[in-house]
Homo-oligomer: A and B are copies of this chain.
Amino acid sequence: MPNIQFLKPNIQFLNPDTLGRPIAPYSNITRVKASEFLFIAGQVGMDKSGKTPADFDGQCVQVFANIGAALASQGASFANIVEFTTYLVHSQDIPKFMAYRTREFPRLFASGAYPPNTLLMIDRLVQEQFLIEVSAVAAL
């Protein structure tokens, strides 16, 4: 299985040959051995002071900054993420989400391997201004 990448002793991201290869920066499977986990509530594009960029890309940047801050508060980093779930309000933003990840994920995930993500288009988030929300699970 040459496409296993070892990030930390406990987390492997896997794309077995029996599944189609992901066409975006994510993996099909995380295999994780851990007894301590973080559950991070869905993060939106609002910063600590309550400001939210109007544009999708600005919200994306803030969402992942928030997740990074949540991880950092526990001494963790994006290398600890085992699962993302991403909710978009507008399908027109899918290409922008793809572009954001292609541009930024190699910096956030230094290993070059990316956690599983499930991408869903839904009606609305808690406030109408929010265009993207991402929840995450991490292993310590």
The total of chain A residues at the interface (CB under 8 A) is 60
Stretch from A53-61, A64-72, A102-110 contacting the other chain: A64-72
A41 touches B69 (CB 8 A): no
* A37 interface hit (Cβ, 8 Å): yes
Q: Which of B32, B69, B83, B124 contacts A36 (CB 8 A)?
A: B32
Partner of A31, one of B14, B36, B122, B128: B36
Does any Cβ of B come within 8 Å of A99's Cβ?
no
Residues of A within 8 A of B (CB): 1, 14, 16-20, 22, 26-43, 46-50, 66, 69-70, 72-74, 82-83, 85, 87, 91, 94, 115-126, 128, 133, 135, 137, 140
